[in-house]
Amino acid sequence: MRVALAQLNIQFGDPDANYEQIEVAIQRATEQTVDVIVLPEMWNTGYALTRLNVLADDDGQRTLQLLSKLARQFHVNIVGGSVAVARDGHYYNEMLVVDRQGQLLSRYDKVHRFGLMAEDRYITAGETENVFELDGTAAMGAICYDIRFPEWLRKQAARGPQVIFVSAEWPTVRQMQWRLLLQARAIENQAFVVAVNRVGSDPDNQFGGQSLVIDPLGQIVAIGGAHAQLITAELDLAQVDQVRGQMPVFEDRRPELY
Ligand SMILES: O=C(O)CCC(=O)C(=O)O
């Protein structure tokens, strides 16, 4: 599985500019042969949470239309990061995943709201898991702060995903934690982690990029810099079975005790 991580600078509170840059980034990514393109968190609005009433995507329709069109056109799977979505009078931080035919595979509302960035005041938390199949490979997705909750990722990883996709707006001040948490999630779940962070800044935070591809042993396969760029990597999925075969941690779990 060849993945492309679109590490971008998101324009604060400017959906039109962001939809345009996402389209360009996806087109550029497809100039190489890639199977999956992964986008960062809240890429349509950034954390302009106080203006979601005018900025959020109505039921995710604009996002879905764009991602489906591009997925079909370039015959590529897209893990659509997340966007601010308005639905039934609520706002969600939502990941949309589409396959090569442009079909919606999964819609996931971020479960853990990040209080330090006021999500608990503006965003409604999701309640459902995010496990899907890309070209026959089981995968799952998480959004930013979710990676601090290993039990949430583990619960889903126990259903078989070999790749964990993460979309984030992770501030530079906690960059080391970003890397260590993701390496731990890869090691404990014996899965590839493909994690995209944004770059640039908004009125409150700086974002340091360093998007990561990590193998099931926790080794870094690819890492981004602190500038906007496309990062590509090849995942050797056979490694997942190998690692799980050598050390069967999923079989050795004692869920009856915890
Ligand atoms: O957990 C963190 O340190 C960052 C989380 C975050 O920025 C987010 O969930 O948007």
Residue 184: per-residue pLDDT: 98
In this structure, are residues 85 and 53 in contact, taking their beta carbons and an 8 Å threshold? Answer: no
- Strand 163-168 and strand 137-143: pairing? parallel
The ranges assigned to domains in the chain are 2-252
- Taking the CA of residue 112 as reference, the ligand 1 atom at the shortest distance is 9
Q: Of the residues 169, 205, 206, which should be mutated to test ligand 1's pocket, given the most ligand atoms within 8 Å of the CB?
A: 169
Helix (H) or strand (E) holding 61: helix 61-74
Q: What is the pLDDT of residues 152-166, one digit of tens each?
A: 999 999 999 999 999
Mean pLDDT of the chain: 98
Q: Read off the pTM.
A: 0.98
DSSP state of 171: B
What confidence tier does 221 reach under pLDDT thresholds 50, 70, 90?
very high
pLDDT for the residue 207: 98
Instruction: Tell me, in angstroms, the distance from the centre of ligand 1 to residue 116's CA.
Output: 8
Which of 94, 119, 144, 169 is an active site residue? 144
213 three-class SS: strand
- Rounded to 10°, the helix 175-189/150-157 angle is 30
Nearest CA to ligand 1 atom 9: 145
Give 11's DSSP letter: P
Q: Is 69 in the active site?
A: no
Give per-residue pLDDT as tens, 85-96: 999 999 999 999
Q: Please, is 153 exposed, middle or buried when counting C-beta atoms within 10 Å of its C-beta (0-12, 13-18, 19+)? A: buried
- The answer to whether 104 and 78 are in contact (CB under 8 A) is no
Catalytic residue, from 41, 94, 119, 169: name it.
41
pLDDT digits (tens, 9 = 90+) for 5-31: 999 999 999 999 999 999 999 999 999
Among 144, 198, 204, 205, say which to mutate for ligand 1: greatest number of ligand atoms within 8 Å of CB: 144
C-alpha–C-alpha distance, residues 1 and 113, integer Å:
31
In this structure, the residue with its CA closest to atom 2 of ligand 1 is 145
> Which tokens sit at 235?
């995942």
Q: Is 110 a catalytic residue?
A: yes
- Stretch (H or E) spanning 76: none
Q: How far apart are the first and last CA of the chain?
A: 34
Instruction: Give the separation between CA 60 and CA 62, rounded to whole angstroms.
Output: 6
pLDDT attached to residue 237: 98
Taking the CA of residue 171 as reference, the ligand 1 atom at the shortest distance is 7
The mean pLDDT value for 185-210 works out to 98
Active site residue 144: yes
How close is the Cα of 258 to the center of ligand 1, in Å?
26
| CA angle in degrees (0–180, nearest 5) for 114-104-184 | 40
Q: Closest ligand 1 atom to the C-alpha of 110?
A: 9
pLDDT value at residue 61: 98
Q: How far, in Å, CA of 129 to CA of 76, rounded?
A: 23
> Residues enclosing ligand 1, CB less than 6 A?
114, 117, 144-145, 148, 169-171, 174
Residue of 183, 125, 122, 192 whose CA lies nearest to 157: 192
pLDDT tens sequence across 116-145: 999 999 999 999 999 999 999 999 999 999
Q: How far apart are the C-alpha atoms of 254 and 238, rounded to whole Å?
A: 26
Instruction: Say if CB 165 and CB 188 are below 8 A apart.
Output: no
Which of 94, 110, 119, 169 is labelled catalytic?
Answer: 110
Instruction: Label residues 204-234 b or e (16+ Cβ within 10 Å = b).
Output: ebebbbbbbbbbbebebbebbebebebbebe
Q: 2-252, what's its fold?
A: Nitrilase/N-carbamoyl-D-aminoacid amidohydrolase (3.60.110)
